[in-house]
Amino acid sequence: MNVAYIDTGDWIEYNLDVAEGQEFYVSLRIAGTQTGYMQLMLNERQLTQFTIPGTGGWQNIDQQISIPVGRHSLRFMVVKGGFNLNWLEVSTEKPGTVKV
């Protein structure tokens, strides 16, 4: 889902039920006219922070995270807005990996 005009303090949250603790890849497709920041929170604990550059167009940003077994809340918290989010993905596949 495309989310536009993201401002400071906005957030998007997902509930996860992880059967096997492992490494995941978080990919964002964003566009912004200025530098923004977004924290990725797992159960209210910061896992990582994304720096959203002024892109002038759509750009993908990827990071690797660890999520343990269990039910979790995964929240993308905007620290500094001014960008649009075209899509996000949490996957066990490394971005750009081609399945054969």
Q: pLDDT tens, 13-69?
A: 999 999 988 899 999 999 988 899 999 999 999 999 999 988 888 899 999 999 999
Parallel, antiparallel, or unpaired: how do β-strands 45-52 and 59-67 relate?
unpaired
Q: Is the pLDDT of residue 99 over 90?
A: no
pTM of this structure: 0.86
Q: In what order do the strands lie in the sheet with 11-18?
A: 11-18, 70-80, 36-42, 45-52
Instruction: Tell me the C-alpha distance between 73 and 51, whole Å.
Output: 21
Q: Is the pLDDT of residue 98 over 60?
A: no
